[in-house]
């Protein structure tokens, strides 16, 4: 089961933005799980939220400064830039170009070993919607959808890792 930790908002740069977090424990090695989630050649094999995922500008792997293009099945495309890349513990990205509904978007994925062969994966996202004068309506709607998708993504990652051969060497 995934676990939800939700705060109504976080203070970032003097602005209040919606923040949410989802986590799940997966029976897998932390390093292998981290590597799988950052491998754009295998991303669509486990991630049901996306219909396209690729690194941009000739990047061959994720790293700080690398940019990625991901197209969600509903929200459309978003270009992100890696602002943190610390294997096998954490990655963080910020939106550089994305759907019109987002004024800003950032997220981190954290991986921590909780027992031998068991890793807790935490997805944490924050965003602000636009236009700002409609954020009181848009923020809750976007929050519900993104939170649901984060839960589904984590469940799909768990299923792919625990029930398929996605982590086994070929």
CA pair distance 84, 90, nearest whole angstrom: 7
Structural domain count, the chain: 1
- Tens of pLDDT along the chain (170 residues)? 333 333 434 444 445 667 889 999 999 999 999 999 999 999 999 999 999 999 999 999 999 999 999 999 887 899 999 999 999 999 999 999 999 999 999 999 999 999 999 999 999 999 999 999 999 999 999 999 999 999 999 999 999 999 999 997 65
DSSP secondary structure letter of residue 141:
H
User: Which residues are 69's β-sheet partners?
Assistant: 54, 79
Count of alpha carbons within 13 Å of 160, Cβ hemisphere only?
Answer: 19
Query: What pLDDT is recorded for position 154?
Result: 98
Q: What is the pTM of this model?
A: 0.87
Residue 21, in any domain of the structure: no
- Over its C-alpha atoms, the chain yields an Rg (Å, rounded) of 16
pLDDT score for 74:
82
Closest to 117 in 3D by CA, of 32, 26, 28, 31 = 28
Q: What is the CATH number of the domain that holds 91?
A: 3.30.530.20
Q: Report the pLDDT value the prediction gives residue 9, as an integer from 0 to 100.
A: 41
Establish if 36 belongs to a structural domain: yes
The pLDDT of residue 17 is 64
> Is 51 inside any structural domain?
yes
Q: Are 49 and 27 within 8 A, CB to CB?
A: no
Q: How far apart are CA 53 and CA 99, in angstroms?
A: 15
Query: Residue 83: inside a domain, yes or no?
Result: yes
Residue 170 pLDDT: 53
Residue 152 belongs to a domain: yes
- Does 23 map to a domain? no
- Cβ contact 127:142 at 8 Å: yes
DSSP character at residue 28: S
Q: Whole domain around residue 151: which residue ranges?
A: 30-163
Domain-located, residue 112: yes
98: helix, strand or coil:
coil
Q: Residue 24 domain-assigned?
A: no
């Amino acid at each position: 089961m995934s676990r939800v930790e939700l705060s109504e908002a976080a203070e970032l740069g003097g602005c209040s933005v919606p923040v949410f977090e989802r986590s799940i424990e997966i029976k897998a090695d932390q390093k292998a799980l981290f590597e799988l989630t950052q491998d754009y050649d295998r991303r669509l094999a486990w991630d049901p939220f996306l219909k396209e995922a690729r690194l941009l500008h000739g990047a061959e792997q994720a790293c700080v400064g690398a940019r990625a293009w991901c197209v969600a099945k509903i929200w459309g495309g978003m270009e992100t830039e890696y602002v943190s890349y610390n294997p096998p513990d954490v990655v963080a990205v910020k939106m550089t170009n994305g759907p019109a509904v987002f004024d800003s978007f950032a997220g981190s994925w954290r991986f921590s070993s909780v027992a031998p062969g068991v890793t807790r994966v935490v997805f944490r996202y924050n965003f602000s919607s636009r236009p700002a004068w409609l954020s009181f309506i848009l923020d809750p709607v976007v929050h519900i959808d993104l939170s649901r998708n984060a839960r589904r993504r984590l469940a799909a990652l768990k299923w792919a890792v625990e029930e398929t051969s996605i982590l086994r060497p070929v």
